[in-house]
Each structure stands twice: as structure tokens, then as C-alpha cells.
A and B are shown apart, each in its own frame.
With several copies, the nearest count.
Chain A
């Protein structure tokens, strides 16, 4: 008898004691089933990865075609999820205290096998920002070899993690900036409090930080931290509280395109920062989703006054970034705070509301295809085309 068997026997005998089972044996019926464990397909373009709400410790994976849950990744509270571009692994940047609400702080990137969802290893890191709802704090590079993890303690820095050797490399100080845009061959870029875009060019163990000219007002009309990035075009799409959209070309020396107003793109008056000016404004946590193949931006919009950047959405607006026109407006029935879209031809939208319910919406027609109760209240991730 192995130790494992002995342990099992020890447990089962307890059932014997507890239940008074000095009784005859049931005949085997041949109907008894075996316990098995499922495996997962590689990450699919039609999947939504949806974080649970505050207090939840998992991200559920839903198939946009069926609306069914296909699995779950353990993402502890305030963790961030990254998908290996090769589809072999999921990465979870997380912070865990040894006694739940107290004890020793442990920061790490946990690595899960994409097929079995089993924990492969943990890569210890020196820290990370504990925050909910941001998608731009933990970024995997296009080649899948490096992860950048934003830290704020409350000094601002970025941890560089080698995903091949599975070890922490070093921290790069990034004062006054946050949110990470991958910048292949260069390093990464970030938004800054002075209204610039900073680019961190990493050269071995040193780096050079350069900045664009200021192009937005971080205090008066901020850019939402949950911006979108197109890895193929190397373009970031930014949106401000008033609804100004700008497209930045990311590279060694990023350039920012001229902003345009989402309201104007819909044939309406440009929105202002002044009170008592009722207009349509963007609002939510994950306020927008970029369908990269068609360069269409889907934005959660609500009627109201300025300084309402978290207000629940009443409509989804589809913005054609090429023509700078709003091409579609879909009403949302029960509000929405997070939006994402699959990067395939189906182009299915998911919107979650503050009751943790999700709706899967056909972006071509606005039709609700699936309503998923208790899907999760946190942000939504999809597989990005590389």
C-alpha cells in the first residue's frame, strides 16, 4: 500500500464509521461511471475571458457562438490575465497574502498550461499594482517571450519578466506614467500625467525614455486607461472623456494622429467639459473595444453631463476609424460597463453590466444572441491577432 493509498483508505474508513455501513454489498450494475477531467482547446478567437466581480477569484471563458462556458482560469482578486500568443499558456499576474487578509505579500506571474489549465509554475516578481478593471497593466509581447507588469507602490515602475526562462529580469522606473503599450523591437510605451506618450527603449540592462509633445490634458480631459492596441498595424487607439478619438502609430518615435470628436462623427455637436451641457459621453470601465480587422471602434456611450466617465452605457456606438464616422448605434437595455469584441469575422460583442450579467451581441445587427447570468463583472479579454 503506497502512502497515497493509505491516505485514501484512511479517509474511506471514516465513511465506514460515520455511516454505519456494516451492511451487505450492492451488486455492481455495470452502470457506474468513471470520473474524468476535461481538457481545453487552444485559445480560440471566438472566446471571451470574463473576470468575476470584486471578491471573485476566477475568469470564466465563454464561447461567443454558443454562449456556453467552456472553462475557467484561476485569477485571484485584482490579478491580470495574459494570453500566450502561441496559445500554449495563460499568464496570471497576481498578488496573494499568505493568510488571505494578512501575512506575507507574494507577487508572481502564475503560468497555466492552456490545454490542461494546470498550474505549471510561478514566477516571483517584486511587486505589482493592486487594482481592478485595468487591461493595460500586464502585457505580453508579440513574440510571447516577455511580459511587462506595471507596479505602483506608490512609485511608478514596470517589471520585466522573461517568459522563456520564466524569471523576473528587472524593474524599470517610469515616473509620472502608467499603462503599457507593447512596442515590438523597442520596448513599450505609456501614457503620462504631463499629457505625453513616453516610449521606453530597452537596451539590455539600460533603457532610454523619450516622450512625444503633450497631446492631451490629463487633468481636464483624460484618455481612458483602457485604450486599445492593434498589434498588426502597431496602432494604439485613444479615447478621452469628452469623446476625442486619436490613433497613435507606435514605434521608436510614436506619432499621434489628429483627434476627432465621436459626437461629430455621429453628426452631433462636439461635447464639452462644461457642466449643464447635456450630450452623449463615453463611460464605463472597459469603455471601448476595437475590431482590428475592420478598424472599427465600439464605444459605450451614455447621455449626461461631463465628469461621468464611469456612467453605465445606454448605447454602443460603432466608429469607422478610416472614415471617422459613427456607422451604427445600438441601444443597451440594462446598462453596460465593459465591452469587448471577438477579432474574427463573426465580430461578436460582449457587454457586461454591474449585476455581473453578460450579453453577446452581433456587431453587424445589434441583435442579442446570448444573455449569460452571473458571467462576471470584471474586464473582458479576447485573443488578439498578431
Chain B
């Protein structure tokens, strides 16, 4: 089974979304919050295991075994392993493009999905497009490694429209971040 390594996500997302804001700058802003929060242990996902992923059919989730790479307007498209919402590809947008008039959220939740063409796992950022009413087309709710609210960056129920001019949810994209 491909072990999902959420430990590695944060820094990657930081680089993707924070642009020129350095990690040092961010940490300095943590201030009081860091003091109040105990240092977290690493989540119980073994880094050694992650280094030698088992991507045999027996180790793949039902979604991964049935995923396809041809049609990104279908719920079984490989990148959608943890998406919840309407697909922007069905709403006039693209796999990493918001439909006209909507706005990509600067933050997102993430998934780790296996591309059946190369058998490799990739980190996917599900960035919501915000500021327009729900598109209503191609509703999907896949839950590979989707967790609950206390681990929000792996939770697909949150409306990830923070930092946008409107929090109205329109649709979700599935952006490639890199190899998982």
C-alpha cells in the first residue's frame, strides 16, 4: 500500500501558495500560537515505509485500481481520489483552471493519488474555485485517505475558500503538486 505522508505536505503547499513568503517569515508570525501549542509528534506514518511504496494491485485502494487517465470530467479520473464537490472540468474550467468569474482559493486540501499509467503516487492539491454559486455538474465524493476536521488539510468537507473575495463555493480543481 502506498503510504500517504502528510508530514511532507505542508512545506510543499507553503512553497506553492505562499509565493515569496519565506518559511522563516511564516514561522516568526506563529508567535503566540506556537508557544501555546505543544510540539506535535510526527504522525505515525513511517518515513522508511514511504520510501519503498508498495504499488502492487493488492496494495491499491478500490479507487486506484479502477482509476483512468483519459477523461478528467469523470469522477474516476485518477487525480480525483480524494475530491469532494463539483468538477471544474465540467463547469467551464479545467483540471487546474477556474471557470471565468471564479477565483482559486490560495489554500487547499490535498490527496495522494496513483497515476495508473506509471504506477506512481502524486500529491494533488484540490483547490476550490470560489465566488460563484455551486456549479452543480459532475458531483464527486472520493475519500482515499480523506480524514476528519482535526486534520483539515486532508478533509474534503471544509469549504476551502479562504483568502478569496467571496466564500461562495463554485467547483474544485485537482492540481498536480509533485511526486508523493
Residues of A within 8 A of B (CB): 1, 5-29, 31-40, 52, 54-58, 60-61, 68-74, 78, 95, 97, 101-102, 105, 112, 115-118, 129-134, 137, 152-156, 173, 175-179, 190-195, 209, 211, 214, 217-220, 222-225, 273-276, 304-310, 374, 376
Number of A-B contacts (CB under 8 A): 329
Cβ–Cβ contact A307 & B149, under 8 A? no
**A to B CB contacts below 8 Å, 23 in the list:** A8-B18, A9-B26, A12-B107, A16-B10, A26-B179, A28-B15, A31-B122, A31-B176, A38-B92, A40-B100, A60-B137, A71-B101, A73-B101, A131-B157, A154-B152, A173-B33, A178-B150, A179-B149, A194-B43, A217-B43, A218-B43, A275-B58, A374-B136
Could you tell me if B101 and A10 are in contact, using CB atoms closer than 8 angstroms? no
Known: A56-B136, A69-B91, A71-B92. A35 touches B175 (CB 8 A): yes
B152 CB to nearest chain A CB (Å)? 6
B100 touches A69 (CB 8 A): no
Establish whether residues B43 and A193, one from each chain, have CB atoms under 8 Å apart when the complex forms.
yes
Q: Check B104 against A37 for contact (C-beta < 8 Å).
A: yes
Question: Are A54 and B147 interface neighbours, CB within 8 A?
Answer: no
**Is the Cβ of A8 less than 8 Å from the Cβ of B106?**
yes
Inter-subunit contact A101/B166 (CB<8 Å): yes
Nearest-CB residue, chain A, relative to B145: A307
A112 to B132, CA, bound (A): 12
Q: How far is the CA of A214 from the CA of B43 in the complex (A)?
A: 10
By a CB distance below 8 angstroms, the chain B residues around A117 are 99-101, 132
With contact pairs A71-B101, A102-B166 given, residues A152 and B106 touching in the complex (Cβ less than 8 Å): no
A17-B33 contact, Cβ under 8 Å, with A11-B162, A52-B133: yes
CB contact under 8 A between A176 and B137, given known A8-B17, A16-B14, A69-B90: no
CA distance A195 to B147 in the complex (A): 12
Residues of B contacting A6 in the complex (Cβ-Cβ under 8 angstroms) = 29
Contacting A at CB under 8 A, from B120-170, are: 122-123, 127, 129, 131-137, 141, 143-154, 157-159, 161-163, 165-168, 170
Closest to A192 in B: B150
**Contact between B34 and A17 (Cβ–Cβ < 8 Å)?**
yes
Known: A15-B13, A95-B167. 9 other contacts (CB 8 A): A9-B18, A26-B123, A29-B178, A37-B102, A37-B129, A40-B100, A58-B132, A74-B168, A220-B45
